[in-house]
Amino acid sequence: MGGKVAKPPDYAAAADAQAQSSKNVTEQQTWANRPDQFTPWGSQTWQNQQVYDPTTQQMINRWSQNTELTPESKKQFDSQQRVATDKSQLAESLTGRMKNEYGQAVDFSDVQRGGGALEGGSIQGNLSTEGLQGVDPSQRYYDKAGDALYNKWAQRALPAQQHEAEALRTRLVNQGLNPGDEAYDAEIAKQRMAQGDAQQQAGFEATGRSGAEAARMYGMDTGTRAQQFGERQAQGSFGNQAQAQDFGQQVTAGGYETSQRQDQIAEIMQQRGFSLNEINAILNGQQVQMPSAPSFNTAQRAEGNQALQATKMQDESNQAQAAAKMAVAQGVMSGASGMAGGFMGV
Q: Are 67 and 290 in contact (CB under 8 A)?
A: yes
Q: What is the C-alpha separation between 281 and 275, in angstroms, rounded? A: 10
Q: What is the pLDDT of residue 114?
A: 63
Per mean pLDDT, which range of 192-196, 245-249, 291-295, 300-304 is the poorest? Answer: 300-304
Contact, 47 vs 63, CB < 8 A? yes
Is the model's pLDDT at 277 over the cut of 90? no
pTM value?
Answer: 0.34
Residue 1 confidence (pLDDT) above 50 = no
Number of other CB atoms surrounding residue 203 within 10 Å: 15
Residue with the larger pLDDT of the pair 76 and 211: 76
pLDDT at position 12, please?
66
Average pLDDT over residues 201-209: 79
How does pLDDT run across 214-225, given as a tens digit for each residue?
A: 777 677 777 887
The answer to whether the CB of 206 falls within 8 A of the CB of 157 is no
The pLDDT of residue 124: 58
The answer on pLDDT for 166 being more than 80 is yes
Average pLDDT (154-159) is 88
* Nearest to 232, CA basis, from 135, 131, 134, 136: 131
